[in-house]
A and B are shown apart, each in its own frame.
Chain A
Amino acid sequence: MLHMLTIPLDACCGGFFLLTAIGIVGTRQMLACLRLYMVQALFLVMAAMLIGIELDSGDLIAVAIITLITKVIAIPWVLKYTLGTEIYDRREIDQVLSIPLALLISAALILFSYFVATPMVSAVGQPFTDINLPIGLAGLVLGAFTVTVRREAIAQLMGLLAMENGVFFASISIVPHLPIIAEISAAIDVPVMSLIIGLLVRRIHKRVGSTAVGDLAALRED
């Protein structure tokens, strides 16, 4: 028997999860973008904890703890280590679309992912899927949208990481006993990915003088 408050609380975590995903699309400041990603990971942790406690699944609680360590602590640390002033600097991010337009498109994308996910919910048949699956899918789509719409390498990295968050948000409800080995592999994978992208971005910055990869449209012959 599910506790009365668990589903609303999980839904609440999901709502804020989506809100931070939209924030990553729409924010102007570099540092705010990173902080929003951390907050998003925190809501993922809270949802995993709630579902883990409710379904009595030790695996999900372990997932929550690993997510907390990797995404809230390790990734910002890795980015600070590799990028330093590039990210811990007050500066604005360039966008292909204007922010109101990007926000409206992301609202449409959320609607789209609800339309796609709703028929799948009944096929899974787990208690939290009807909340987590559409929100996770929307997080995935919004992350992809961030990657396309931003002209800045670090903000694109945030989009990639947000996509990964979305996938996990959906999967914790579909597979309540997510094998811990899968989560550990992802937990190692994601910081390594951000390390590699961080180092790459640093090389780009050294070479070109900025990290606005949207401007790198033409090849130059030496």
Chain B
Amino acid sequence: MWDSILFNLIQVAVIVGLAPLVEGVLHRLEENVQSKRGPNIFQVYRDIWKFLQKDETVSAESSWIFRFAPYVAFVMPVFVVLLIPVLTRYPLFLAFMGDMLAAGFLLALGGFFVSLAAVDTANPYGPVGASRTRMVGFLAEPVFMIVFFTLSFMAGSTIPYIVQAGWTATPGGFFEPVHILTMLAFLMLILADESRIPVDNPSGHFELAMIGKSKYLEYSGRGAALIKWAGAMKLMVLICIFMNVLVTPWGLTGEHTLIAVLLAIPLILLKVFAFIIVLVIIESSLAKLRLFRISEFLSAAFVICILAMVTKLMTS
């Protein structure tokens, strides 16, 4: 039991420690595609460190929610990591505490508090960004629900470890349309949820066009550091779920030794890197959608996951 707890803590440490690196590599690659040199891949660590050194300025108009929200946003991805397969194929100590739905709700809770905090300040851009994020969230919710339902129907369980084992058990099942269409819908969901390019421009600095970023404009010092770190962690958690449960369910260790668990870390980094390359290709080749076309993007995702569900339910 103790080694199971230890592996669980290693898993958390991997996500918390390496998420800024993942985001740094992503920034670097995106700038490289645009023929720029790009920032150092450790720049996100430096930013976080710099923010942590600085004093925090809080608006006198704001309430406790504004001060509380960065901690919630930071802790929620850490909770989710306890539930999902990152390094090991076998369920770890806390894996049965919650299922994929719980993971989704935990991440949504962090987003909810950040939105509340954005409305809490008197900054006019905060509520605009918060309400836009909620709009994207409303549209993404049915997609999330049906993807979740299809996955758990396929595997007969809602625990991510068991879903992951289900794909590796039958090699033919990997090519079934339900799997590939669900992958596609989930990818679109990640793009929408993480405010990536077809939905929102993550590197934009124009407040009126922002969706995701304008919620954090009021933060400084420790709050800004935590929010930045939490964003990187959330991205890496979603990538880990996507890669380990859906796309490449292989390569996780099945052994109960410390060495094997540590050796699984480079493999997960490799998978995350592969995803980042795909993300860079998507972000460099597509244009940002206008605000009212986001509903088209997400309704396409909805139809795709309905299609996945129908092709599975109606033919078996």
Given contacts A8-B176, A107-B306, contact A15 B296 (CB under 8 A): no
A11 to chain B, nearest CB (A): 5
Measured between alpha carbons, how far is A19 from B176 in the docked complex, in Å? Answer: 14
- B172, B296, B303, B315: the one contacting A131 at CB < 8 Å is B315
1/0 per residue, CB under 8 A from A, across B72-88: the answer is 00000000000000000
Measured between alpha carbons, how far is A9 from B177 in the docked complex, in Å? Answer: 8
Let me know if A15 and B311 touch, CB within 8 A.
yes
Interface size on A, residues (CB 8 A): 29
Let me know if A12 and B300 touch, CB within 8 A.
no
Given contacts A8-B172, A8-B173, contact A15 B315 (CB under 8 A): no
What residues on B are CB-neighbors of A16 within 8 Å? 177, 180
1/0 per residue, CB under 8 A from A, across B169-186: the answer is 001111111101100100
B295 to chain A, nearest CB (A): 5
Let me know if A103 and B175 touch, CB within 8 A.
no
Q: Which residue in chain A gives the minimum CB-CB distance to B178? A: A15
- B173, B176, B180, B307: the one contacting A107 at CB < 8 Å is B307
* A100 sits at the interface (CB 8 A): yes
What residues on B are CB-neighbors of A200 within 8 Å? none
What residues on A are CB-neighbors of B180 within 8 Å? 12, 15-16
Interface residues of chain A: helix, strand, loop or mixed (majority): helix
1/0 per residue, CB under 8 A from B, across A102-115: the answer is 01101100110011
| Interface size, B (range) | 20 to 34
* A14 sits at the interface (CB 8 A): yes
- A104, A110, A114: the one contacting B299 at CB < 8 Å is A104
Measured between alpha carbons, how far is A5 from B176 in the docked complex, in Å? Answer: 9
Interface residues of chain B: helix, strand, loop or mixed (majority): helix
Let me know if A118 and B314 touch, CB within 8 A.
yes
1/0 per residue, CB under 8 A from B, across A78-103: the answer is 00000000000000000000011001
A138 to chain B, nearest CB (A): 9
* B310 sits at the interface (CB 8 A): yes
* A26 sits at the interface (CB 8 A): yes
Let me know if A110 and B176 touch, CB within 8 A.
no
Measured between alpha carbons, how far is A131 from B178 in the docked complex, in Å? Answer: 12
Given A5-B172, A19-B304, A103-B299, 8 more pairs with CB closer than 8 A: A5-B171, A9-B175, A11-B311, A12-B177, A15-B180, A103-B296, A104-B303, A110-B307
- B residues whose Cβ falls under 8 Å from a Cβ of A: 171-178, 180-181, 184, 295-296, 299-300, 302-304, 306-308, 310-311, 314-315
- A residues whose Cβ falls under 8 Å from a Cβ of B: 4-5, 7-9, 11-12, 14-16, 18-19, 22, 26, 99-100, 103-104, 106-107, 110-111, 114-115, 118, 130-131, 134-135
